[in-house]
Chain A
Amino acid sequence: MAEQIIFYILAVIIAVFSIMAVTSKHIIRSATYLLFVLLGTAGLYLLLGYHYLFGVQIAVYAGGIMVLFIFAILLTNRPGEKVELERKDRRLVAGITSLVGLAFCGHIIYWNISKVYTYIVPAELKVQDIGHTLMGTNKYQYLLPFEFISILLLACIVGSLLIARKR
């Protein structure tokens, strides 16, 4: 009961703020709405029992990426300036495209999802299991992708320094 109520509150928050984030006229406001969407997503992870992913979502998305966005907006926008939208016909085409896609995917989900339905008891994923799986080298364990991610992060730090530095 309580789970249902919390889920529907979060769902309404996510739906409303994600639409407001892409239609808002001020760019800093849409960044703030994006922050609310990310926090709502973190709440969904918590509801599903993935506590570690909840922490990662808050720390990396709501913490790190949002700070980058705010910095970029403050560096590239004059305050109070409204952003320009696309031409009206292009916006119409974009709206029709996304509505058609929404209807198509919604139709597929509505008619097919009951065939794969399984009810499960909500359980919690232990951090110990996550650590063993992340650091193991057997089948279904993820040491190699973990190391690739670390190399990717290093390359990305060096690359963005190289791109953004003053000549």
Chain B
Amino acid sequence: MGDLFLNFMSGTVPIEAYIGVSLIMFFAGVYGFLSRKSLIMILVSVELMINAADINFVVFNRYLYPGQMEGFFFALFTIAIAACETAVAIAIIINIYRNWTSVEVGNLDEMKE
């Protein structure tokens, strides 16, 4: 048992541990996206999913192609695009709140005033 523990704890972290973490994060995001009603919670879930994809890009770059930088730059650009997307989405949410005084998706069966 102690031998197994030492084997487990020596060397670098295996790649599937990183991917497992991002897998849990992604499917937590999927669950939140499908099970919440508030628009802000849906946005939080989307952020979780984007973050999981970022981790995958970076980990594949580090473990499989350590001499290149493609995954790194994809993660960098993804963070910038996620910031844009969040800003626009929150502007839309605030506008919806102003018109309907609620941000639940159930009430939004029409988008025109």
Using Cβ atoms and an 8 Å threshold, which residues of chain A touch B51?
Answer: 37-38, 41, 61
Contacting residues of chain B (1-51) with chain A, CB-CB under 8 angstroms: 8-13, 15-21, 23-25, 27-38, 40-41, 43-45, 47-48, 51
For the complex, is A53 an interface residue (Cβ under 8 Å from B)?
yes
Contact B24 A156 (CB under 8 A): no
Taken together as a complex, chains A and B put the C-alpha atoms of A57 and B80 apart, in Å, by 10
What class of interface size applies to chain B in its complex with A?
A: 35 or more
Question: Smallest CB-CB separation from A48: which chain B residue?
Answer: B62
Inter-subunit contact A116/B64 (CB<8 Å)? yes
Q: Which residues of B contact A123 (CB under 8 A)?
A: 66
Closest to A53 in B: B75
B54-93 to A contact mask, C-beta < 8 Å, 1/0: 1100110011101011101101110111111011101111
Tell me the nearest residue of chain B to A154, going by C-beta. Answer: B84
Selected A-B contacts with CB under 8 Å, 15 pairs: A7-B17, A22-B35, A30-B44, A34-B47, A69-B44, A76-B40, A86-B36, A95-B31, A97-B30, A106-B23, A109-B23, A113-B15, A118-B64, A149-B80, A160-B91
A27 surroundings in chain B (CB, below 8 A): 38, 40-41
B interface list, Cβ under 8 A from A: 8-13, 15-21, 23-25, 27-38, 40-41, 43-45, 47-48, 51, 54-55, 58-59, 62-64, 66, 68-70, 72-73, 75-77, 79-84, 86-88, 90-95, 97-98, 103-104
Inter-subunit contact A102/B36 (CB<8 Å)? no
The answer to whether A102 and B27 touch (CB under 8 A), given A1-B9, A30-B41, is yes
Instruction: Using known A-B contacts A60-B79, A145-B77, A149-B81, determine if residue A50 contacts B58 with beta carbons closer than 8 Å.
Output: yes
On whether the beta carbons of A159 and B83 are closer than 8 Å, the reply is no
- B-chain residues with CB within 8 Å of residue A76 when the two chains form the complex: 40, 93-94, 97, 103
Does chain B have a CB within 8 A of A135? no
Min CB–CB distance A122 → chain B (angstroms): 7
Which residues of A are interface residues toward B (Cβ below 8 A)?
A: 1, 3-5, 7-8, 10-11, 14-15, 18-19, 21-23, 27, 30-31, 34, 37-38, 41, 44-45, 47-50, 53, 56-57, 60-61, 64-65, 68-69, 71-73, 75-76, 83-86, 90-91, 93-95, 97-99, 101-102, 105-106, 109-110, 113, 116-120, 122-123, 125, 129-130, 133-134, 140, 142, 145, 149, 152-153, 156-157, 159-161, 163-164, 166
Chain B neighbourhood of A5, CB < 8 A:
9
Residue of A nearest to B73 (CB): A142
B86 touches A68 (CB 8 A): yes
- The answer to whether B73 touches A84 (Cβ under 8 A) is no
